[in-house]
Structure 1
Amino acid sequence: MTSRSSAWPAWLTAGEVTVRPLAYSDAHAWREARRRNAAWLRPWDATVPPGADARPSSFRALVWRLHRQARAGATYPFAIDVDGRFAGQVTVNNVVRGSAQFASIGYWLDRQYAGRSVMPRAVALVVDHCFGPAGLHRIEIAIRPENSNSLRVVEKLGLREVGYAPKYLHIDGDWRDHRLYAVTVEEVPEGMLARLEHHQSHE
């Protein structure tokens, strides 16, 4: 069994794309990216349903909470850098150990980096990390049916669609349906990044 201490913190790189722990020092770049992309990201952003605990009120509070959860092995919050510039996030959520060894992945990207295969590479790096040092067995990604950009990510990675979940997550102010995609470690013996690069080389 892989130890949790080897899973976090982690720095992973493929070409111009690096994923690394989200840091307090990302505050300015994170706020600017969210401001520039507010309208583009809003339809896909998680929101808090009535009666639930409020989300962190500041970026610093968000990072503090994520780091605390990462130390407990419950989440892995990665920032995405492209050529050293902050470009978005990939977060491994809901890590379940025991007999499941499962987690889900969510992500967002600054629109100026869209169309450059940044997110497929970032997600592939993180999936490989989950299946390697983190010792997980299955990764799931839930996507709104209308989110064509996210659907292209799982398509490029070759993830299987495994189900449809009505009113699955609270997104953009209401409970939204999601398509569910998943991959297990047995499906990518060569690694997810290697699979992605193989597919891209044959396009």
Structure 2
Amino acid sequence: MAPLGRPIEDPGPLSAGRIALRLIRPRDAEPLRKLLADNRGWLQQWEATHPSGRGIAPGSVSMRPTVRALRRQLRLGTGISFVVSYDGAAVGQLSVSEMSGGALQTAQLGYWISEHVAGRGITPVAVALGIDYLFSVLGLHRAEICIRPENAASLRVVEKLQLRYEGRRSAYIHIDGAWRDHDCFAVTRDEVPGGMLGRLSA
């Protein structure tokens, strides 16, 4: 896959009511580290791990190098990392990866949210904002989300957004110490002429 081939500019805040996305910034490193540390029990079972067993638990060390790497992806046109905020406070992340230009024009989305705000409908709105940005601003054709079949909360997100089920990828990503199956859901720009946020609101 070829990246977009151009730097990704800051779109400014993308918002709907009390929920917003904004590009990750260096000063987000410590608030996000604390959120990850506070949510270890909540997030660990869904976190990517290295097959070798090496790795550092999210939230256990400074996130400054990670934020610098994520900002570098913007310049290369290979990925985007948004902070999810609720009433102005950071409550999670939405990441866009596997971005491709050329003949594919696609990207993959992943996300996490703090347990203390779970169940308030934040994640579906954040994902809708992200997909609308990919389609309307970056001009991509397709977006996909891959979810472990055991992750009921995340499956509810794609159900609310009415993403199309495309099948199961066996032993797809190393998560929480083992290779895990993932179910793939997708949407193309032509399927949501009124935008994903419009579909969710309807």
Residues in 2 aligned to 1:53 and 1:17: alpha-carbon distance in whole angstroms: 32
Match of 2:36 in 1: 34
- The amino acid across from 2:189 in the alignment is V
Alignment equivalent of 2:91, drawn from 63, 87, 91: 87
Query: 1:79·1:89 contact (CA, 8 Å) conserved in 2?
Result: yes
How many residue pairs match? The answer is 196
1:8 aligns with 2:12: no
2:55 and 2:97 map into 1 onto residues whose CA distance is 17
SS in 2 for 1:49: coil
Unaligned ranges ≥5, structure 2: none
Q: Which runs of 5+ in 1 are unaligned?
A: 199-203
Kindly tell me: are residues 70 and 54 of structure 1, through their superposed partners in 2, closer, same or farther at Cα, counting changes over 3 Å?
Answer: farther
Corresponding residue SS for 1:100: coil
1:68 corresponds in structure 2 to 72
Distance in 1 (alpha carbons) for counterparts of 2:5 and 2:102: 13
Superposition pairs for residues 85-124 of structure 1, below 5 Å? 85-124=89-128
- Please identify runs of 4+ aligned residues in structure 1 that moved more than 3 A: 2-5, 51-58
Please name the residue that 1:181 is paired with: 185
Which of 112, 115, 138 in structure 2 is aligned with 1:134? 138
**Root-mean-square deviation (Å):** 2.1
C-alpha contact 2:14 2:20 (8 A) present in aligned 1: yes
State the alpha-carbon separation in 1 of the partners of residues 105 and 182 from structure 2: 22
- Quick one: distance in 2 between partners of 1:71 and 1:42? 30
Query: What percent identity do the matched residue pairs reach?
Result: 45
- What TM-score do you get using the length of structure 2 for normalisation? 0.91
